[in-house]
Amino acid sequence: MTSPEPVSPDSGGPPPRRGAASPLARILPEVDDRWMAHWPMMLLGLVILYNVLPGAYGEYVVSVAVLGSMFAIGALGLNVHYGFAGLLNFGHVMFLMVGAYTTALLVSGRGMNIFLAMLIGAVVASVLGLVVGAFSLRLRTDYLAIVTIAMAEMGRVIIKNSGSFRVDPLTGSGKTIGTGGVFGVQNFSSGFNSFLDTTLPFVNSHAWQLFIFNAVVITIILYMTWTLRRSPWGRALRAIREDEDIAAALGKPTFLLKLQAFAVGGFIGAFAGVAFALNNNFIDPDTWLPIFTFRIWIAMIMGGAGTIFGPVLGAMLLQSIFSLVRFLPNIAASPLFGWIPESLVSSNRIFALQGMLLGLLIMLVVIFRPQGVLGSREDLILEGT
Amino acid sequence: MVEPRDHTRGVPDPILHIEGLSKRFGGVRAVNNASFAVQRGTLTSLIGPNGAGKTTLFNLVTGFDRPDKGRVHFDGHNITGHSPPEIARKGLVRTFQLARDLSRLTVFENLLLAAQHQKGERLIVALVPIPMWRSQEKANSERAEELLELFRLTHLRNERAGNLSGGQRKLVDLARAMMMRPSMVLLDEPMAGVNPTLTEQLLERIVALRDEGLTFLLVEHDMDVVMRVSERVIVMAEGRVIAGGTPSEVRNDPAVIEAYLGVTVDRED
């Protein structure tokens, strides 16, 4: 850095920095451009891991990555809400649910092309975002959190009890389809799977095919959120996140901008639901419990809210840790860990252990890296100053 | 040193006209039937003891609060009840009493943000991978650089606004307001908490901008400053406008002296 140019003595030089900024962060003060390096690195890491590990383990790692990538898409959508615009959306799962159901019903009921159905699902989710946002985004942020969580739960309960409605959403008559109520919807992935087989004939693992598809979706979303964040639109949203009154005083249409952010995040979130549905070839209402939203939140916070790549990294980390818990019985069986009582890590306690680990993880992140792995410490310190 | 200017400006041409503005908060009449006009191209000060309703009046004029009664006309438009962004886009810009900068944005970003009619703030445009807003952004950047130069903030260009001192933030506030190319600026205590040298610098800027034709309405506690630079002074007390006129007229107004007497003793600045 060159020495500061001579200035009037009263205004002084730059004040001492609070929190260190990396040289890269100084060159690129406004945007996290490093996703372009991080994302290929992560993909390469997965390929290496797959080839190094013995057969079944490699396959398992890829299936973990498929799950992780699904959470990553969800977290990328939530990041537009919270990371970009500061909207406390605690009902994110409703966007996933609407995207998944719309797609699944259009494909299974009407035999629609899977990609067209996916797109319609995402559009329906963003329209839902506009509707929910229209009456909730004027609320204070804490009320928004309550409204969104209630909306998501209402949607889930309605779907759960609506199996017998059997109304065709497009024509209102003719061939009837329904949400399947508690039984859910199934068998809609065959068209998608045969598409994967024809497009990726050289990939003989289904998990890899799914992952490649999710990775393409993630790449498109990363590019999209990156483009948005560095645009004046993204800057206006950051201003709203900082202080909505100031943004309004500067002539920014704050309500409209928040509404747009809500719709964009919902559009992205829908693809997470679709990815989840296609992975399982089955969806039912109880897939979309509030805990789903919270896992997406943890993924985003862990990786770094407001960054471009943080949500993906956080989701992958979270899913890896979750999946590693499964191997605890094996690890405990090894001589090195003989002191761990077997009853503690028996397979029927895995879920409880996952929950405990999740709690521990949140505490560790909040204590040692509250800004997330990729977040900026300076941003956190300056919040609300 | 800032010189007072000639007060005789010919034909009255009010840019801001307030009629019978009232606002109650519970039992408190924060603003009570306030009426006055601000002439185009002048620096008018709004003074009054604490709790006189000056900030509430600012909020009513700029749309942050809705008046119970009364009307606000700005530049030929009735802007009563309009939203803050609408009013700001009409060219009536305000600053806040506490320098409220967007702390995590850099000084430069704070300025760029304030530019009006940005194409790239439309979602459709922002979504296009090729930034169609580049050329406009470049023009805005040039203007921002000029303003930074003018306000002697260039050395703080890439500093996060949250890292600045109170006085520096006030300068950024004013520069940011200028970025919007306003026709009138409402300044809520721009000198509060600012060291004397920086105060002089701020004042110099304000007067220079006034001389270029910008209208200012200033809430200020420093009587010395008010009497020195304003062409007109409006005095409020307990929500009412109790006097208005040139600084010397106001200074000798018995109503003003009465309103201030009990309060001046308590004042610590």
Contact A233 B198 (CB under 8 A): no
Nearest by CB to A239, which of B83, B105, B129?
A: B105
Q: Which of A27-31, A121-125, A265-269, A288-292 has the lowest mean pLDDT?
A: A27-31
DSSP A79: I
Distance from CA of B130 to the nearest CA of A (A): 9
Contact A8 B102 (CB under 8 A): no
User: Is pLDDT larger for residue A248 or for residue A161?
Assistant: A248
Mean pLDDT by 10 residues, chain B (269 residues): 48 87 90 92 90 90 93 93 94 84 88 93 91 91 94 91 86 92 92 83 90 92 85 91 88 82 48
Nearest by CB to B88, which of A233, A250, A381?
A: A250
Contact B102 A249 (CB under 8 A): no
The Cα B80–Cα B77 span in angstroms is 9
Contact B85 A235 (CB under 8 A): no
B119: nearest CA partner in chain A: A232
| pLDDT band, very low/low/confident/very high, at A177 (cuts 50, 70, 90) | low
Domains belonging to chain B, first-starting first, are 15-101+166-264 (3.40.50.300), 104-163 (no CATH)
| pLDDT band, very low/low/confident/very high, at A166 (cuts 50, 70, 90) | low
| pLDDT band, very low/low/confident/very high, at A233 (cuts 50, 70, 90) | very high
Sorted by sequence, the CB contacts under 8 Å of residue B136 that are 6+ apart come out as B118, B119, B120
B185: nearest CA partner in chain A: A249
DSSP B3: P
* Amino acid of residue B141: S
The closest alpha carbon to A123, from A103, A149, A144, belongs to A103
Instruction: Return the bridge partners of B98, or none.
Output: none
Question: Is the distance from CB of B63 to CB of B90 less than 8 angstroms?
Answer: no
Contact B96 A245 (CB under 8 A): yes
Q: A254 is written with which tokens?
A: 């704050």
Percent of chain A exceeding pLDDT 90 equals: 50
Is the pLDDT at A176 greater than 70, yes or no? no
User: What Cα–Cα distance (Å) separates residue B62 from each residue in B11, B16, B154, B169?
Assistant: 26, 11, 30, 21
Nearest by CB to B126, which of A232, A238, A382?
A: A232
| pLDDT band, very low/low/confident/very high, at A167 (cuts 50, 70, 90) | low
Nearest by CB to A242, which of B64, B103, B119?
A: B103
Section A215-225 average pLDDT: 96
A228: which chain B residues are within 8 Å (Cβ-Cβ)? 126-127
Section A206-235 average pLDDT: 95
Is the pLDDT at A292 greater than 70, yes or no? yes
B93: which chain A residues are within 8 Å (Cβ-Cβ)? 249
Contact B133 A383 (CB under 8 A): no
Distance from CA of A94 to the nearest CA of B (A): 23
| pLDDT band, very low/low/confident/very high, at A364 (cuts 50, 70, 90) | confident
| pLDDT band, very low/low/confident/very high, at A95 (cuts 50, 70, 90) | very high
Nearest by CB to A18, which of B85, B101, B163?
A: B163
The pLDDT value recorded for residue A174 is 45
A384: nearest CA partner in chain B: B103
Question: Is A385 within a domain?
Answer: no
Is the pLDDT at A334 greater than 90, yes or no? no
Contact A235 B126 (CB under 8 A): no
Contact B113 A250 (CB under 8 A): yes
The pLDDT value recorded for residue A16 is 45
The pLDDT value recorded for residue A36 is 86
Question: Is A353 within a domain?
Answer: no
Q: What is the dihedral of CA B129, B130, B131, B133, to 10 degrees?
A: -120
| Interface ipTM | 0.86
Question: Is A24 within a domain?
Answer: no
Helix intervals (H) in chain B:
54-61, 84-89, 107-114, 123-127, 134-150, 166-179, 196-211, 223-229, 247-251, 254-264
A244: nearest CA partner in chain B: B102
Nearest by CB to A249, which of B84, B127, B198?
A: B84
Strand ranges of the sheet holding B92-94, from the earlier edge strand across to the other edge:
B92-94, B184-188, B215-219, B43-47, B232-237, B240-245
The pLDDT value recorded for residue A12 is 45
- Cα A104 to chain centroid, rounded: 20
| pLDDT band, very low/low/confident/very high, at A274 (cuts 50, 70, 90) | very high
| Residue pairs spanning A and B at CB distance below 8 A | 151
Average pLDDT over chain A, rounded to whole?
84
A264: which chain B residues are within 8 Å (Cβ-Cβ)? 123
The pLDDT value recorded for residue A31 is 52
The closest alpha carbon to A180, from A258, A100, A249, belongs to A100
Question: Is A223 within a domain?
Answer: yes
| pLDDT band, very low/low/confident/very high, at A27 (cuts 50, 70, 90) | very low
Question: Is A350 within a domain?
Answer: no
| pLDDT band, very low/low/confident/very high, at A185 (cuts 50, 70, 90) | confident
Q: A186 is written with which tokens?
A: 């199934």
Whole domain around residue A52: which residue ranges? 31-164+183-289+304-309
Q: Which of B95, B107, B160, B194 to mutate to test the interface with A (most CBs of A within 10 A)?
A: B160
| pLDDT band, very low/low/confident/very high, at A9 (cuts 50, 70, 90) | very low
A229: which chain B residues are within 8 Å (Cβ-Cβ)? none
Question: Is A11 within a domain?
Answer: no
Q: Which of A189-193, A248-252, A289-293, A328-332 has the lowest mean pLDDT?
A: A328-332
Question: Is A377 within a domain?
Answer: no
B131: which chain A residues are within 8 Å (Cβ-Cβ)? 227, 230-231
Q: pLDDT of A36-61, one tens digit each?
A: 888 999 999 999 999 998 878 888 99
Section A79-84 average pLDDT: 95
If one counts the domains in chain A, the total is: 1
The pLDDT value recorded for residue B2 is 47
Question: Is A234 within a domain?
Answer: yes
Which of A18-32, A159-173, B72-86 shows the highest mean pLDDT? B72-86
The pLDDT value recorded for residue A173 is 52
Sorted by sequence, the CB contacts under 8 Å of residue B115 that are 6+ apart come out as B140, B143, B144, B179, B180
The Cα B230–Cα B233 span in angstroms is 7
The pLDDT value recorded for residue A30 is 43
